[in-house]
Amino acid sequence: MSKPLVEDSFDEPEREKETSLPATDTDLLNLIQKFSGFETPTKVVLQAIAIASYDCASAFRYADNYLNILKNQKRRKKLLLLEPQLEFCINPKYVDFRY
Q: Give per-residue pLDDT as tens, 16-60.
A: 566 778 888 899 999 999 988 888 889 999 999 999 999 999 999
CA-to-CA distance for 55 and 48, rounded, in angstroms? 10
Report if residue 20 sits inside a domain: no
Residue 41 domain boundaries:
25-81
Query: Based on the structure, what is the number of domains in the chain?
Result: 1
* Residue 77: band (very low, low, confident or very high) from pLDDT cuts 50, 70, 90: low
Cβ-contact 59, 48 below 8 angstroms: yes
Report if residue 13 sits inside a domain: no
* Residue 89: band (very low, low, confident or very high) from pLDDT cuts 50, 70, 90: low
Cβ-contact 46, 78 below 8 angstroms: no
Report if residue 39 sits inside a domain: yes
Mean pLDDT, all residues of the chain: 76
Phi, psi (deg, nearest 5) at residue 11: -75, -30
* Residue 62: band (very low, low, confident or very high) from pLDDT cuts 50, 70, 90: very high
Report if residue 18 sits inside a domain: no
Report if residue 98 sits inside a domain: no
